[in-house]
């Protein structure tokens, strides 16, 4: 398993558009992807799961992946978050 902690930097947090970008990126990979905020963990390929985490600006997330392309998946998703989802 590969994991990386990231901080959400965009001012609006993970609303519908960034969540959609996250899911779109996650689905490019075969690995199972999980996202955790505090003690809550959800499927990183589920928009509903991500929205239930109530991710706001400044939140710390853990992005985890397990599978054949786990390192690439975590790197791509972490880059997306740290780049403020292009906002």
Positions marked active-site? 15
Does residue 53 contact residue 15 with C-beta atoms inside 8 Å?
Answer: no
Looking only at the bridges linking them, the beta strands covering 2-7 and 60-66 are antiparallel
Q: Which residues have C-beta within 8 Å of that of residue 21, sequence separation ≥ 6?
A: 80, 85, 86
């Amino acid at each position: 398993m590969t994991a990386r902690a990231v901080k959400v930097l965009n001012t609006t947090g993970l609303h519908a558009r960034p969540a959609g970008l996250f899911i779109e990126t996650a689905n490019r990979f075969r690995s199972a992807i999980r996202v955790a905020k505090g003690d809550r963990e959800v499927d990183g390929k589920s928009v509903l799961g991500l929205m239930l985490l109530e991710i706001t600006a400044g939140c710390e997330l853990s992005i985890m992946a397990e599978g054949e392309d786990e390192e690439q998946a975590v790197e791509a998703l972490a880059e997306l978050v740290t780049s403020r989802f292009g906002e």
